[in-house]
Structure 1
Amino acid sequence: MRDFDDLLDANRSYADSFDLSGFDGIARAGVAMVTCMDSRIDPLRMIGLKPGDAKILRNPGGRVTDQALVALVLGVNLLQVERVLVVEHTRCAMASSTEDELKARIADSAGTDASWMTLGAIVDQRNTVRADVMRVRSHPLISDEVAVGGFVYDVDSGLLEPVA
């Protein structure tokens, strides 16, 4: 476990001032965000929120996958989510390479064939955001009362651009 000593030390410091004990897990601000796993994205701070305010769902490319939809259905129906943001970002690896290019890079790195995987490269980012927003809006277990918006986050300026 020595590989994790620095992280465990940081966790102990975090726990010293931990103030979410007993929190019921609802989204206090009524927000859920589907966004990319990119480490340049700070989902809560970029929209002025703090821990406990929102449900944050992250995956490569910030796609509304089947599992993200399950989380959104739970959030909307059980955890007081009233607004959903679908947020992709500039300079995303998933939108900067083709599926084949990504598979080749992974195969080179791993030293084994990656052609069997579906990675989900994004060909047209803005249309993908629009399609994912429609996927959320049209889900039968997500009320029409839920506001759903699509955005592209600029990793160089910190600004969100509304897309859908």
Structure 2
Amino acid sequence: MADFDDLLAANRDFASDFDLGGFDGIAHAGIAIVTCMDSRIDPLGMLGLKAGDAKILRNPGGRVDDLTLDALVISVHMLNVSRIMIAPHTRCAVASNPEVVLRERLDNATGQDTSWLTLPVTDGQEEALAGDVQRVRAHPLIPDTVKVGGFVYDVDSGLLSQKV
């Protein structure tokens, strides 16, 4: 149980002045952000948003996989989302390494064959981003009124660049 004591203590500090109780759970700024799980990314901070403003969907590479697409449909129709930002980042391991390299690293780290594991690698980040944006725009349950943009977040400068 002691493995998480530091986090539980931090949580008690957080909860001591918690003011989001009873929050309705919709995206008050009307935005959904799809980005990578990389800990260098602060999705709310990078856009000047606060808790409750956005729906945040994170996965390796910030890709629009099937589960992410399902979550976006729910966000649009039930959670006040009218804009979707897809924002992978610079120096991303899954965007800057070939699958064979990542697979070898995983095999070595786990001591097992990981060929069955899905890795969201790309041959080109901007091409993958354009494809992900198109996939969202083309979904029959995402209306044309929803704005979808593709961006790359620079982990060294903190700046976003719109690509699509």
TM-score range, shorter chain: over 0.9
CA distance in 2, matches of 1:19, 1:122: 41
Q: Secondary structure at the match of 1:32?
A: strand
> Who is 2:28 aligned against?
28
> Who is 1:109 aligned against?
109
Report the Cα offset of residue 113 of structure 1: 1.0
> Who is 1:17 aligned against?
17
Match for 1:123: what amino acid? D
Over 3 Å off, 4+ runs: none
- What RMSD, in angstroms, separates the aligned Cα atoms of the two structures? 0.6
Report the Cα offset of residue 122 of structure 1: 1.5
Provide the TM-score with structure 1 as the length reference.
0.98
Q: Secondary structure at the match of 1:152?
A: strand
Q: Which moved more, 1:111-120 or 1:8-17?
A: 111-120
* Structure 1 unaligned residues grouped into runs of 5+: none
Matches for 1:10-159 after TM superposition, within 5 Å:
10-159=10-159
Q: Secondary structure at the match of 2:129?
A: helix
Report the Cα offset of residue 138 of structure 1: 0.6
Provide the TM-score with structure 2 as the length reference.
0.98
Residues matched between the structures, number: 164
- Identity percentage over the alignment? 62
Report the Cα offset of residue 96 of structure 1: 1.3
